[in-house]
Structure 1
Amino acid sequence: MLQGFKEFISRGNALDLAVGVVIGAAFTAVVNSIVNGVLNPLIAGLVGKPNFDDVLAFTINGAVVQPGAVVTTLVNFLLVSAAVYFFVVVPMNQLAARRKVQGAEPEAPADDVRLLTEIRDLLAAERGAGGLEAPDGGEPGTLGAPEPSTPGARHREERGSRLGWVRD
């Protein structure tokens, strides 16, 4: 059980998420400090209060309803999300685009593709030089195959010939 938990925590996704949550909490604290220290005093200068909590507040049977508190929370959310977008997302996208342009070198083909390309080029060079001959001196492509000895073999030979599998 502990081994499974260790494997889960060791995976990159869980660690990335944990780091993101910690950094997000710290970043939210920074933005809230800016909101409380700079923006709320500016709002207080315009509205008369540092937040919108008491704006449009009313009382029903002794219960205070504060729609302004929702506005205050929305303003804080918009400010935090705008700060995250402009100070984290935009720079990371620009960095990723720069890395993509710098690292746009063509990838080397896989070993099997490289080997097959080399074989193809060698065969093409042999054909061009007239070097491809059947082992028995017969037609190229027949490889000196003996005549089919059974009716089934003759049928396969004829069918393959019609379908272009065997050269005539």
Structure 2
Amino acid sequence: MIQEFKDFIAKGNVMDMAVGIIIGAAFTAIVSSLVGDLINPIIALFTGGIDFSGWYYTFDGSQHASLEAAKEAGAPVFAIGSFLMAVINFFIIAFVVFMLVKMVNRVKAAAERPDDAAPEVHTGPSELDVLLEIRDALKK
């Protein structure tokens, strides 16, 4: 069993997966900062600073100053605003990741494209030239 474990760990795809997870965690911090620190303030500018996270409903009908106060009081809370903000943030993050992947794919495709500056080298007559020579020879 130990040998099987060593073989499993030694496989390249496990190491690739580990590197991917580590980079993914770092990338998550970057994307979260991008959304929270740059994109959400721009959206707040256009929506007048609306923050949905304070929208909630208590099932027992009690009134509280804020969602946090209702939770501290132990009231059964239906926090629709927090859920709505999580959904909005998900779509923003998904769109940002989509744009980043699209940009990386474009850069990758440009790097893999052969240079157009290299001239084509013809080593002999073209197919059309050969056919024209055959035609002329048959006419004679």
Classify the TM-score, shorter chain. 0.5 to 0.7
Alignment partners' CA distance in 2, 1:16 and 1:96: 22
Match of 1:72 among 85, 88, 91: 85
- Runs (5+) with no aligned partner, structure 2: 61-74, 115-140
1:86 aligns with 2:99: yes
Q: Quote the sequence identity (%).
A: 37
Q: Identify the residue that residue 53 of structure 1 maps to in structure 2.
A: 53
In the superposition, relative to structure 1, how do residues 6 and 52 fare at CA in structure 2: closer, same or farther (>3 Å)? Answer: farther
- Runs (5+) with no aligned partner, structure 1: 103-168
Q: In the TM superposition, what is the alpha-carbon distance from 1:97 to its structure 2 partner?
A: 7.4
Q: In the TM superposition, what whole-angstrom CA distance separates every residue of 1:109-151 from its partner, at most 9, and x where no partner exists?
A: xxxxxxxxxxxxxxxxxxxxxxxxxxxxxxxxxxxxxxxxxxx
The answer (yes or no) to whether the contact 1:59–1:65 under 8 Å persists in 2 is: yes
What secondary structure, in the 3-state scheme, does the structure 1 residue paired with 2:53 have? coil
Higher helix share goes to which structure? 2
Q: In the TM superposition, what is the alpha-carbon distance from 1:87 to its structure 2 partner?
A: 1.3
1:1-168 map, 5 Å: 1-45=1-45, 46-48=47-49, 51-55=51-55, 57-61=56-60, 62-92=75-105, 95-96=108-109, 99=112, 102=114
RMSD of aligned residue pairs (Cα, Å) = 2.6
Give the alignment's TM-score, normalised by structure 2. 0.55
Counterpart residue type for residue 86 of structure 1: M
Alignment partners' CA distance in 2, 1:39 and 1:91: 20
Q: Point out the structure with max Rg over C-alpha.
A: 1
